[in-house]
Amino acid sequence: MARTNEIDEGFYSRQLYVLGHEAMHRMGRAEVLIAGMKGLGVEIAKNVILSGVKSVTVQDEGQAEWSDLSSQFFLKEADLGQNRATGSLPQLSALNPHVLVSAHTGPLNEDLLQKYQVVVLTDSSLDDQKRFGDFCHTRGIKFIVTDTKGLCGQLFCDFGEGFEVLDQDGEMPASLMIDRITKDNPGVVICADDQKHGLFDGSKVIFSEVQGMTELNSIGPVEIKVCGQHSFSICDTSSFSEYERGGVVTEVKQPLVLDFKPLSEAVNDHQLLIMNDYGKIARHNTLHLAFQALHGFVKKEQRLPQSWSQSDADLLLNMVKELNLVAKLEEVDEAALRSFCFTARGDLAPMNAFFGGLAAQEVIKACSGKFTPLQQWLYFDALECLPEDGGCLKESLFSPKGSRYDAQIVVFGSEFQQKLLRQKYFLVGAGAIGCELLKNFALIGLGAGDEGHITVTDMDFIERSNLNRQFLFRSKDIGKPKSEVAAKAVAEMNPQIKITAHQNRLDPDSEGLYDYSFFMGLDGVAAALDNVEARVYLDKRCVQHQKPMLEGGTLGSKGHTLVVVPHLTESYGPAKSSSGNAIPLCTLKNFPHRIEHTLQWARDQFEGLFKQTPENVNLFL
């Protein structure tokens, strides 16, 4: 199956909407190596296998340990002492029948790397990153490095020189109605004033259906220069016929060619750090040096820093100051650096899920040429999770306990772990985001204690198209309730989890079941819903019962998350109208000139005929 050129549209249907057939065909020819099968490596492997490349090889020389179970969801207690790559192989292979998955238990070397188009390193030394990075750069192999240490993580991409991006953003090309075109040098195109053109200097466009100045209809793509939100200049139109009326201007997507530096050079170039939080510029510059210093620390001491050890933090701080003699940062964030050192032994499932998603997205970009890749460093931290009086905590609380949560206890302590185990949570939705949340809940131990519990509800049944992204489901589960299958799958990941599955829709009809006493028994609610109405309703119930709600959603390659804490943050609802893009009624009735207008006109007609009239009759009756 993996060798045919046909795309399985039933399996990949949702992904095809985002990537398109061409990009999927290119991915179907790509062979990927992922090194390191701890929590971060298995996240990347899971995502890349589901995305539909030709083959994935997972490499790891190490044996599974207790600390791996805090984030490695395809290893069980029975796998302790076994090789991580071979232990994960059966579960990874079952994710996608179209992808050939194999394990390599030997060391990494150049002979192995040259067989692949994309190489991803996790949990690797800086020496290996530089050595293999230089090798991949000269051979034209796409090279990605990612790592998480406690509450901090990094991601690096090198796609070589002359890497062609075929579609920079995946958006539909802009299509605009023309109001008028001047006969000038250069000619100026003025678009209909109800729509901003959204084009940039250098964008290219083609014309069609122009009346009068028909010469524009037959010339190829024209480069534009933006004059205003509704106008732009084009070529010399002074010798063309006089513009009369009509016409459509359509954007022509242009490929973008990018040059990347190898890691050995890029490591010293702070201009390549992509900022994702402008309140943390100093922190992320510091983290760039901190990760380098940590590699030096491990090389010298043959271990990671001890949890919450002041002496190790002092040593790492001195190493960063030494590196800064060359880097010359104006400000080193010492507090963040100490927190990074205190928690570097941590291996946290949510951090691995975040960086695993980002790294897998970069693999998709490398294979498909779709979307603009990262150039070239990205840092993210969640140090806000630590208590503000972190320095006063006892070191004994953070020592390993010989449990599956050890890599989490070294960051947050055993008391916090006990609190997680006691949590009672309600998850609404067991689709793509619901599966990911349940996996993370099981790994962190949410509701896995004697007093803890998770209730999950989803009224849907598993379809074949779900298997491409709802990773807890397999072909044998098609037709079964999502919530039941998902609950059973995460109970295999962590047998201690207490979970109950329901198949109820969350709406006013289910308030008899999800009543005051149900909500008052909860510590929090997580929403993994696919429509605004259900989110607004759930948000209202959470505010009513003073319960926090964690909410997230995706649309193609975009996503959002929202934390709602009653009386502290803004709540989700009530439903907000998107008035910014509302169509004026006069346009709709008298001059519908865009495809959206005709659709909205038809929708209004339909509602008038088949919804409003019967509703009025029912009200009268």
Alpha-carbon distances of 264 from 130, 162, 225, 260, rounded to whole Å:
5, 19, 39, 12
Compute the C-alpha angle 284/168/32, nearest 5°: 75
According to the model, what pLDDT value does residue 576 have? Answer: 58
How confident is the model at residue 395, as a pLDDT? 67
Helix and strand numbers (H, E) in the chain are 20, 23
| pLDDT tens digits along 565-606 | 988 888 877 655 554 566 667 777 776 777 778 888 888 888
Determine the Cα angle at 367 with ends 365 and 372, to 5°: 20
| Beta partners for residue 176, in sequence order | 249
Tell me the C-alpha distance between 268 and 262, whole Å: 11
**Per-residue pLDDT, 2:** 41
Over the stretch 117-175, which tens digit does the pLDDT of each residue have?
999 999 999 999 999 999 999 999 999 999 999 999 999 999 999 999 988 888 888 88
Contact (Cβ atoms closer than 8 angstroms) between residue 504 and residue 459: yes
Nearest by Cα to 89 from 77, 104, 78, 109: 104
Q: Catalytic positions, please?
A: 586
Task: Name the residue among 104, 109, 99, 106 with its Cα closest to residue 88.
Answer: 104
Buried b (16+ CB within 10 A) or exposed e, 363-385: bbbbbbbbbebbbbbbbbbebeb
Helix (H) or strand (E) holding 118: strand 118-122
Residues in the chain, pLDDT under 70: 1-5, 193-194, 389-396, 574-584, 591
Q: Is 573 helix (H, G, I), strand (E, B) or coil?
A: coil
- In this prediction, residue 618 carries a pLDDT of 85
Tokens standing for residue 124: 């690797």
| β-pairing verdict for 231-233 and 524-527 | unpaired
Adjacent-strand bridge partners of 35:
59, 121
pLDDT at 1: 38
Quote the tokens at residue 202: 């250098």
Q: Burial, 518: exposed, middle or buried (Cβ in 10 Å; 0-12, 13-18, 19+)?
A: middle
Q: Give the sign of the dihedral formed by CA 187, CA 188, CA 192, CA 195.
A: positive
Buried b / exposed e over 171-188, threshold 16 CB at 10 Å, is eeebebbbbbbbbeebbb
Residue 193, classified by CB atoms within 10 Å of its CB into exposed (0-12), middle (13-18) or buried (19+), is exposed
Of 492, 92, 51, the C-alpha closest to 84 is: 92
What pLDDT does residue 194 have? Answer: 66
Cα 512 versus chain centre, distance: 37
pLDDT at 575: 57
- pLDDT of 487 reads 94
DSSP code at position 398: G
Partner residues linked to 33 by β-bridges: 57, 119
CA–CA dist 346, 619 (Å, integer): 62
